[in-house]
Amino acid sequence: MEQLFLTALIVAIIATIIIVPLTKKVPKGQVTNKQLVQTVIFVIIASMIVCLAVIYITKIDLHWTVFIYALPVAALLGAIQSVGVERKLKGLLLFASIIVLGYMLSAPLWNANEKYNSAKMDVQVELKPFDEKQTPASVPPSFAKNKMKKAFGQVPNTSFYELGNLQIQKVNGEYVYIAPVEFSGFFKWMNGDTTPGYFTMSATDSSDNPKFVKKEMAYVPSAFFNKNLERHMRLQYPTLIFYGAPQLEIDDEGTPFYIRSYGEFISVRDGFDVKGIVMVDANTGKSEKLSIDEVPAFIDGAVSPESVSLQNSYYGKYVHGFWNSLFGKKDVKLPSDEGTEANVSPVFNEEGDMYYFTDFTSPKEGVDSMLGYSLTHARTGESTYYTGNLEDSYMDSRGALEIVEKKFIEKQWQGEMPILYNFYGEASWLAPVLDSNGFLQNYFIVSAANPEISAYGTTPNEALKLYKTALSRGGSSVNGGTSDAKETTISGEVLRVYKERVGEYTIVSFLLNTGQNFIISSQQTPLAIYLEQGDEVVVTYFATDEMFLPVKVMQIKGIIGN
């Protein structure tokens, strides 16, 4: 707060020097010493009040460039009040301030290269193959929020509150959605004073039920006056440049903290480059400014999704400058708007680190081919751009959702939150499918390069099993990330059989007397459901290093038609 008042005082003094005629000469004559002192005191106090009121109401930053907007007004008032040499000097100040203001407002026309350089990414071809033993965080946020709303009866004094914004996070090694309970209006805030807590729900298990955690929070986005979270941050750090909405983060003990990304303008008051966070204890209001390197381990999303989305737009649009982004559009690529948070989607890698995923498409209308995709580390802001296999034409996220829509057109189900994975060496879209009421129905996987290859199941892992057999049936090389698996034929006796119903089909796993394990779907070979222990089979499969080898063709001796 001391910094706020000191800055406001400095601004008030400068404004007074510009506005008040210090030579005491005015158009109507000359003011006395007493009148000059009274005027100076009045303008200083009035300027401080106006400055503090604007900051308090608008929550705008006190970065020096913000005063460029007010400088021409002050210089004009000063020129009007003065005469002689002082008027000329203030007239020159007015002229100069208008030029500087014009320069500042025109920044987007000339700083495109700086924006692009700030957003430059490491370039690679393809993601590492996904470990099928893992479960992707694939519960869509709209479904989780729907379940939380239905569980809102757990909240005391329910009528005072409403559900806040959802965010995914890793807590105690588990991927969960977190949503704060917020005030539903001014009078509810007056009566409630604090919110009672937040909801958590698994981000990988759609059958999980939301749990309400009682943790009082006084400093929240929906509070008013000094308890309003954004105002509280601004009053503590008046000169910081914030970008993106505050987000709730929970430590491993369940204590709620709000964080917000701060950074620097690319040039004057245009663009943004993240540098750290401000962290606020939601109960006590204790605030702390932390650089990116100092962010605590429990915080996953130090870099706001809004700033990542902004950087993606810089990288895609300004590869050859500003004017090329409007006219020639050479090498321009547009980030998708299918993300779940500010046009990006949070995902976790095998090490448990959170990234923001975005795919890029062509600026040409009616084209649904993907030009590449990016992953941005949510703690460090470091980004990697993946070109994909340049010999293939990958479908973008919008195209994947259209395939889901066509697949379930009669039921009017819709896909949501499409994420690109490397499943068995194939770039593939995974999208949860929801019905018209927002309930999760299944998970749909489709090849980005071969849209005719797809599968769906009630869980991501079931869909993966079916997708593996669909890839084999489609002639793709199912493997752990390479494309050189050889097709091999072998015969033997079945020692063990395990059958599992997955969606509309049956997955058959079996062990041969050769010591090898195989997997096949009844979607691919319908008569596989008759396979029994002791049967003699001839199997054509892809020789990969997986425990269960994907079967392309199988013949069961003694069964006609296989």
pLDDT, residue 480, reads 43
- The residues facing 428 across adjacent strands are 421, 447
Domain 487-556 has CATH 2.40.50.140: yes
CA distances from 49 to 5, 37, 43, 62, 294 (A): 10, 18, 10, 15, 36
Mean pLDDT of 122-130: 88
pLDDT in tens, 341-398: 999 999 988 888 999 999 999 998 777 789 999 999 999 999 999 998 877 789 999 9
The answer for residues whose C-beta is within 8 angstroms of residue 498's C-beta and 6 or more apart is 508, 509, 510
Please report, for the chain, the start and end positions of each structural domain, with discontinuous segments joined by +. 1-108, 141-215, 397-474, 487-556
Is residue 497 within 8 Å of 510, Cβ to Cβ?
Answer: yes
How far is residue 156's CA from residue 153's CA, in Å, rounded to a whole number?
8
CA distances from 363 to 5, 220, 357, 372, 383 (A): 48, 39, 19, 13, 22
Mean pLDDT of 321-341: 93
How far is residue 420's CA from residue 360's CA, in Å, rounded to a whole number?
12
Q: Where are the beta strands (DSSP E) in 269-425?
A: 273-281, 287-291, 334-335, 345-348, 354-361, 369-377, 383-386, 394-395, 414-415, 419-423
User: 84: which 2 tokens?
Assistant: 């002689």
How far is residue 443's CA from residue 456's CA, in Å, rounded to a whole number?
5
pLDDT in tens, 130-162: 876 677 767 999 999 999 999 999 999 999 999
Q: For the chain, give the percent of residues with pLDDT over 70.
A: 96
pLDDT in tens, 93-109: 999 999 999 999 999 99
pLDDT, residue 479, reads 47
pLDDT, residue 475, reads 47
Is the predicted pLDDT of residue 79 greater than 60, yes or no? yes
How far is residue 249's CA from residue 298's CA, in Å, rounded to a whole number?
8
How far is residue 432's CA from residue 429's CA, in Å, rounded to a whole number?
10
pLDDT in tens, 523-543: 778 899 999 999 999 998 877
pLDDT, residue 17, reads 95
User: 92: which 2 tokens?
Assistant: 């020159």
pLDDT in tens, 259-295: 999 999 999 999 999 999 999 999 999 999 999 999 9
Chain-centre distance of CA 101, in angstroms? 33
Is residue 453 within 8 Å of 436, Cβ to Cβ?
Answer: no
